[in-house]
């Protein structure tokens, strides 16, 4: 019921600890919002709890989960396939310089753990013939890509992704330093390092 203008701001008879209240109409924005929630709740109840197959959304968490799984399986299946990175060891000076710049740069933090001369610090020595996770160009590229988070090495050293070309350059640079014998290298970790074949 809409009250007349004369009834506006009319105080009710009761009070609570001296606090009194007006008997005014609810603000229209609030009232319409309340009606809207009522309509929404009816639509929601019918859609999710009455209909056998909802008009929108999924019926229950399991159906919703299954729907998400199917969606992403289809998305992955239809995604363009990326072929393997061509892993041809680079030996030219320009590529090795670029690899060195990446290795010693602050973007990927390689030298932070392996030292600028690759002699090893927190990370293993990369100049000797004892490697933990393989020493081929493919192995090194894979190791850089995935990192070893459980040992403190993030993917790409710092999660700053490298392009395929940059990855090949830095892996080639690492291989080029094998046998360089830097001073005071990190000792071989018995039981962890495997002779490079």
* 60-69 pLDDT tens trace: 888 889 989 9
What local confidence, expressed as pLDDT, does residue 134 receive? 86
Interatomic CA distance for residues 123 and 121, integer angstroms: 5
What local confidence, expressed as pLDDT, does residue 94 receive? 95
pLDDT above 90: residue 12:
no
What local confidence, expressed as pLDDT, does residue 30 receive? 95
Fold annotation for 93-195: Cytochrome Bc1 Complex; Chain D, domain 2 (1.10.760)
* 32-56 pLDDT tens trace: 999 999 999 999 999 988 998 889 8
What local confidence, expressed as pLDDT, does residue 63 receive? 87
How many other C-beta atoms lie within 10 A of the C-beta of residue 58?
A: 15
Q: What tokens appear for 8 in the block?
A: 């506006």
CA angle 113, 114, 117 (to 5 degrees): 140
What local confidence, expressed as pLDDT, does residue 85 receive? 55
Interatomic CA distance for residues 163 and 140, integer angstroms: 15
In terms of pTM, does the model score above 0.85? no
What local confidence, expressed as pLDDT, does residue 38 receive? 97
Domain with CATH 1.10.760.10 in the chain: 93-195
């Amino acid at each position: 019921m809409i009250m007349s203008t004369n009834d506006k701001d009319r105080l009710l008879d009761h009070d609570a600890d001296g606090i009194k209240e007006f008997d005014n109409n609810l603000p229209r924005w609030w009232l319409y919002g309340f009606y809207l929630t009522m309509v929404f709740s009816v639509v929601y109840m019918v859609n999710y709890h009455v209909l056998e197959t909802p008009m929108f959304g999924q019926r229950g968490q399991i159906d919703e989960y299954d729907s998400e799984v199917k969606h992403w399986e289809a998305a992955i299946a239809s995604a363009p396939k990326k072929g393997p990175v061509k892993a041809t060891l680079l030996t030219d000076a320009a590529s090795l310089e670029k690899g060195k710049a990446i290795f010693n740069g602050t973007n990927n933090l390689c030298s932070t753990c392996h030292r600028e001369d690759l002699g090893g610090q927190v990370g293993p020595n990369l100049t000797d013939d004892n490697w933990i996770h393989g020493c081929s160009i493919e192995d090194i590229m894979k190791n850089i890509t995935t990192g070893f988070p459980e040992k403190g090495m993030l993917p790409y050293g710092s999660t700053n992704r490298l392009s395929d070309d940059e990855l090949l350059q830095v892996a080639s640079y690492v291989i080029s330093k094998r046998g360089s014998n830097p001073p005071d290298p990190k000792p071989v970790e018995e039981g962890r390092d495997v002779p490079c074949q």
